[in-house]
Structure 1
Amino acid sequence: MSIESSGAFRVRIHRGTRQIGGTCIELEANGQRILLDLGLPLDADGVSDDLLPNVEGLRGEDPSLNAVIISHGHGDHWGLLPLCNPGIPLVMGAATARIMSAAAPFAPNFFAPSVSQHLSDRTPLQIGPFRITPYLVDHSAYDAYALQIEAAGRRLFYSGDIRAHGRKAALFEQLIRKPPQCIDTMLMEGSSLGRLNEHDQFESEKEIEARLMENFKGPGFVLISSSAQNIDRMVSIYRACKRTGRTLLLDVYAMEILRATGNPNLPNAGWPNLSIYIPEYQRRHLARNQRFDLLEPYRSARIFREHIAEIADRVVMLFRPAMTRDLELGNLWNNARAIWSQWDGYLEAGPGAKLKADLLGRGIRLEVIHTSGHASIADLKRLASALNPRRLVPIHTFHGDRFSDHFENVTRRDDGEWWDV
């Protein structure tokens, strides 16, 4: 059954009013619709058709679905795209699209998008009755956007995932200084509620770099587990290596992600204190898929396992569990130390818990050096105050019922509920 327009600008959140991840928001005006994000839930076992929200046009043809707009490149915001009708126009940042395409050859669950239009900071797009203004924001994903949507004389602002303590914190301050005006409804993420006290702050990325530098001053071969797509963290690790005289070893996947940003100021082949190591699992994978072209840009900076052992005390390796065999073959476990530089919740189950147990079995303690990709409560309060929406709707949070303790004009909504902006 098609949607009948009442002339209003309407919204329904399919997933996100009571959980973090799997975000999907449907907007409708004048009988036309768009989706903001189409994420895979964090607790999903994998991509499956039953996870697709009940949105007409996702599986079959429906011309009233004008586009899916992806705020940033984390899978809990785009991970269900591979299940969709490929004819639906797709909109995201240009660097986000390049990073997703660069990741695709390395893992079965990745997706190389075909993009109709790109998001660009404060450059409006018109899609059907919707005028969309993206705002580049600070987040642990590169090329992340908040979105202002105007339709039928009303304005909605979607924060996406946002923070104020990363390397792009100036973007948050710019948004606070020059916020969009006359916002009727603001959908604001609340990932930090329930994780942080009201007056506490997450460590800044500069503080993380300082902690890494202090760690790297110690002896031994350092393994660091971090997402290669957390570009801020890759920069922090590289800078800490350079300042302590260590060499950072990155694999081809990490190098391809950095190159896909299109940013010449990020570490690349030929930079000092940087070498490329191709682990066995990755070498076999690329050979099996005949992707020798991905190796070519890095030949001059490549280091082999035998040489790593000779300089191990001056090395930091970006490490994932699939590299365990490489360390055994290279006799690199002796005098090794390990750092976990991503969300510590991943250590409680699955591959993270298995890695932690494996390291402990080898007598290696795993030190956590990480900060959140999401804003503190104090910074969320600054954001809400600057935009001063008539209505504030919690999203991307397990603790939406606590919003009224910190913010004005809070209205709770349920997943699947249509309401007017």
Structure 2
Amino acid sequence: MTKLSFYGGIGEIGGNKILLEESETKVFLDFGKSFNLERNFFDFPLLKPFYIPDLLNIGAIPSLRGLYRNSSEKPPVDAVLITHPHLDHYGYLSFLNKGVNIFLGKGTKEIIDIRSRTYRNYWDTKLDHLSFETFSTGDEKETGNLSFKPIHVDHSIPAAYGFIIQAGNKTISYTGDFRFHGRMGKLTEDFLAALEKEDIDVLLCEGTNISPGEEDEFLREFEERLQNRGGVKVPERFPVHCRSEADVKEQMQRVAEELEGLVVVETSAADVDRIRTVSEVARKTGRKLVLDPRQAYLTYELEKSGLVSGLPNRGNSSVLMERRKLGKRLKSPTDSEDKETGKKGRDQWQQEFFEMSGEVYWGPEGREEIRKNAEGFLLCTSNATARFMELRYEKPFRCSYILSKSEPFNEEMAISFDKLLHWLGLLGIDKYYQIHVSGHADREEIKKLVEKANPNTLFPVHTNYPQLFKEIFSKSRIVEPTKGKPYEL
């Protein structure tokens, strides 16, 4: 008997944890962090989960005896199949029993390893007790009574895959996160071609961008509330419509050519395609690209590994280090209280920047150089608020801002965005541009994939609006999964 049970990724974007059972074999499809659920119960950094039972109590992870690393029993599942290296798909792996085998792409493992070096290892991030088996697109893999084939797809991070799985007499496909409109849309076309060759019984399809309207009303309502707040002048947002990553590049270049002073572009930390787009815009507009440390480390390491080509490297970009005070043990009696450190006292991955060739801007002198020559720089960062706070010194300097990632879509993000808008105002920025395209398939792209796959049964996942699938797709049986309920196939 083949069964599916859903422990995350239903009625929410991300947090995918889907249990597939075939006879005695059990595997999870992704084991992702449920950000929305954690936000409902915790408040970082003051109120955060202390150990695994805290997450069990709120239903963030499934209550299955022997599944977790604090158990000496044989785990109840054989393996986890990871689609791509975003935390909402792999973020809870660290809790698993060491007897659970982890299947993931070679590039996925590389990216997870690179990013883990830039963060401290805590109880909820350690992975060294687990066994990993890597794959490439088209490989035939087996675990117990299941066989599966990973096929690459395009997403906002490299090394993303969809799966075609044989479970008994059923053919099941899981899309993971995908799109057709990115730089590597051909990858998703390969996945689509593979689906067309199969008789798909069950399709597990992401629906991030399935929503009642063209755009979420949250940001518009948030801006209206700010406008009505007394004494606060809110910078005006100029959204630039884009349908593809190529559009983003074209429009960002057009806007950047007209902007004055330092151009600051905010992207998601691991949106490698977007960082590459920003790099190309900097080159086309004659500006020197400056990256924040984590983005620089990710792109430099990916370029060095050969996993992705065309990324910024030490020869064509620079790094703006975050402010860090010189530790007490390293200070001399004459050092001021706010004296900053360059290499000393930083984490090993940050120290490497000072050992490489290329420019590293740090301390008051480095930031002053950027301010004085603002017209010649384009800064790409995943935290514009922090960079604005560091760069502003005594008086504003000429700068402009481009938001090139998703707008706020929950209250916590809105609070952070509110702070950003205040910093824009303090710097004299009265308008900003939003130039972005989603890392996920839009409604028409999802329709294209579902119609080509033509499954007998479709389970919507990774969506806030699973009920809308019934309005869009009529040929397939649509099942809105309930958390923890097993579905016999």
> TM above 0.5, one fold?
yes
Q: Give the whole-Å Cα distance in 1 for the aligned partners of 2:388 and 2:137.
A: 41
Among 402, 408, 415, the residue aligned to 1:345: 408
Percent of pairs with identical residues: 25
Amino acid at match of 1:249: V
Q: Is the 8 A contact 1:393 1:411 kept in 2?
A: yes
- Counterpart-to-counterpart distance in 1, 2:466 and 2:343: 43
**3-state SS in 2 of match to 1:344:** coil
The answer to whether the 8 A contact 1:176-1:382 is kept is: no
Q: Who is 2:278 aligned against?
A: 237
From 69, 77, 100, the counterpart of 2:89: 77
**Which of 16, 23, 30 is matched with 1:37 structurally?**
30
- Against the structure 1 CA distance between its residues 205 and 418, is the aligned structure 2 distance closer, same or farther, given a 3 Å change threshold? same
Please state whether the residue corresponding to 1:373 is helix, strand or coil. Answer: coil
Shift, 1:177, TM fit? 3.3
Residues 300 and 313 of structure 2 are in contact (CA less than 8 Å); yes or no, is this contact kept in structure 1? no
Deviations 1:219-271 (A, max 9, x none): 21111111231011011101111111111101331122113433362324343
Residue identity in the other structure for 2:447: K
- Alignment check: 8 A CA contact 1:31 1:64 kept: no
The aligned counterpart of 2:388 is 324
1:305 maps onto 2:361 in alignment: no
Q: Does residue 336 of structure 1 match 2:399?
A: yes
Question: 2:245 aligns to what?
Answer: 205
Q: 1:9-408, aligned counterparts within 5 Å?
A: 9-43=2-36, 44-45=38-39, 48=49, 49=52, 50=55, 51-59=60-68, 60=71, 61-108=73-120, 111=125, 113-114=127-128, 115-179=131-195, 180-194=197-211, 197=214, 203-218=243-258, 219-261=260-302, 262=305, 263=307, 265-272=309-316, 274-281=317-324, 287-291=345-349, 293-296=351-354, 298-303=356-361, 304-319=366-381, 320=383, 321-329=385-393, 333-345=396-408, 348-364=413-429, 365-407=431-473, 408=475
Q: How far apart in 2 are the matches of 1:337 and 1:343?
A: 18
The structure with more radius of gyration: 2
Letter in 2 for 1:95: G
Residues 402-417 of structure 1 aligned to structure 2 (within 5 Å): 402-407=468-473, 408-409=475-476, 410-417=478-485
Aligned-pair RMSD on alpha carbons? 2.6
Contact 2:151-2:161 at 8 Å conserved across structures: yes
Return the offset for 1:41.
1.8
- In structure 1, distance between residues paired with 2:342 and 2:409: 27
* 1:280 match: secondary structure: coil
Give CA-to-partner distance per residue, 1:331-363, whole Å, 9 cap, x none.
Answer: 784111111111102585243332223323433
Shift of 1:317: 0.8
Question: Partners in 1 of 2:356 and 2:483 — Cα distance?
Answer: 47
TM-score by length of 1: 0.89
SS of the residue 1:254 aligns to: helix
The answer to whether the 8 Å contact 1:269/1:297 transfers is no
Higher alpha-carbon deviation: 102-111 or 305-314? 102-111
CA distance change for structure 1 residues 137 and 290 in 2, over 3 Å: closer, same or farther?
closer
Letter in 2 for 1:154: K
Structure-2 separation of matches of 1:53 and 1:142: 28
Q: What is the letter of the counterpart of residue 249 of structure 2?
A: E
Figure out how many residues of one structure are paired with residues of the other and give that number. Answer: 410
Q: Which moved more, 1:126-135 or 1:257-266?
A: 257-266
